[in-house]
């Protein structure tokens, strides 16, 4: 590629990035606007009443739930991420929060089954209200996004579940914000719980 052609190609990049940023923002707004906020309120209530909160998800959904776990810890809740070496056994009075776009992720469904067998409650976030995971849930949040294997979806032009994971992040942030606004703790108090061994 000669210098002129290379410069022309590079000049297209900002415009393409702007278009894609706009695309992603639009999809997120459209999808999160369609979430039933009553379902989010129920999830917030379940988290508030639980003795301990456990979170389980695979892949990028699991990473989003790890971020949610940190925020819940900042509120002073007892929070554990499934699979961590220090995570104790789940039991009655506890809540397991799980996320799977398809609602069929084997490890996540198995975690929900184990929690139920131990007497804990399960809250699930998924795109599929007919999925095995949804069927196990005591509380359910439906995010109307494309599943990661639905490559021809009219719901999203993004790749492989990105819209679900982005919307999951915003949904968990809304739950955190709701819980925080129902306390009298200032941000400075929450910050005292932030990790100091970084």
pLDDT of 12 over the 90 cut: no
Range 126-145 average pLDDT: 97
User: pTM of the entire structure?
Assistant: 0.91
Does some domain include residue 125?
A: yes
Question: Residue 99's pLDDT band (boundaries 50, 70, 90)?
Answer: very high
| CATH number of domain containing 91 | 3.40.50.10490
Q: Is 164 left (phi over 0), alpha (psi -120 to 50) or beta?
A: alpha
Going by C-alpha positions, the residue among 133, 142, 141, 140 that lies closest to residue 115 is: 133
Strand partners, 122: 96
Does some domain include residue 196?
A: no
Distance (Å, rounded) from C-alpha 4 to C-alpha 58? 46
φ, ψ dihedrals at 86, nearest 5°: -100, 5
DSSP H helices in the chain:
3-33, 37-49, 59-74, 106-117, 132-136, 162-181, 187-191
Q: What is residue 69's predicted lDDT score, i.e. its pLDDT?
A: 98
Does some domain include residue 198?
A: no
CB-based contact 68:93 (threshold 8 Å)? no
Q: What is residue 157's predicted lDDT score, i.e. its pLDDT?
A: 81
pLDDT of 191 over the 70 cut: yes
Does some domain include residue 145?
A: yes
Distance (Å, rounded) from C-alpha 33 to C-alpha 28? 8
What's the token pair of residue 17? 């990035």
Range 64-70 average pLDDT: 98
Q: Which residues constitute the domain of residue 123? A: 3-191
* Bridging pattern class, strands 79-81 and 95-99: unpaired
Does some domain include residue 197?
A: no
pLDDT of 26 over the 70 cut: yes
Does some domain include residue 142?
A: yes
Q: Write the DSSP symbol of residue 194.
A: S
Does some domain include residue 9?
A: yes
pLDDT of 36 over the 80 cut: yes
Q: Which of 6, 165, 173, 181 is catalytic?
A: 165
Q: What is residue 155's predicted lDDT score, i.e. its pLDDT?
A: 75
The number of distinct structural domains making up the chain is 1
Q: What is residue 42's predicted lDDT score, i.e. its pLDDT?
A: 98
Q: End-to-end CA distance of the chain, in Å?
A: 45
Q: What is residue 3's predicted lDDT score, i.e. its pLDDT?
A: 72
Q: Active-site residue 130, yes or no? A: no
CA distance readout (Å), 125 to 10, 48, 117, 138: 40, 17, 20, 11
Distance (Å, rounded) from C-alpha 112 to C-alpha 175? 20
Does some domain include residue 136?
A: yes
């Amino acid at each position: 590629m000669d210098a002129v052609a290379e410069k022309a190609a590079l000049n297209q990049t900002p415009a393409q990035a702007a278009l894609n940023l706009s695309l992603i923002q639009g999809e997120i707004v459209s999808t999160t606007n369609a979430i039933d906020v009553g379902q989010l309120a129920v999830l917030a209530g379940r988290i508030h009443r639980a003795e301990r909160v456990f979170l389980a998800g695979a892949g990028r959904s699991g990473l989003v739930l790890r971020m949610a776990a940190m925020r819940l810890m900042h509120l002073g809740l007892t929070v554990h991420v499934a699979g961590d070496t220090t995570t104790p056994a789940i039991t009655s009075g506890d809540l397991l929060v799980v996320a799977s776009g398809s609602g069929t992720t084997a490890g996540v469904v198995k975690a929900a089954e184990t929690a139920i067998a131990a007497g804990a409650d399960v809250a699930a976030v998924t795109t599929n209200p007919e999925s095995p995971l949804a069927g196990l849930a005591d509380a359910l949040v439906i995010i109307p996004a494309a599943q990661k294997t639905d490559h021809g979806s009219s719901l999203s032009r993004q790749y492989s579940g990105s819209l679900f994971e982005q919307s999951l992040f915003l949904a968990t942030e809304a739950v955190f914000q709701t819980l925080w606004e129902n306390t009298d703790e200032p941000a400075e108090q929450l910050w005292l719980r932030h990790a100091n061994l970084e």
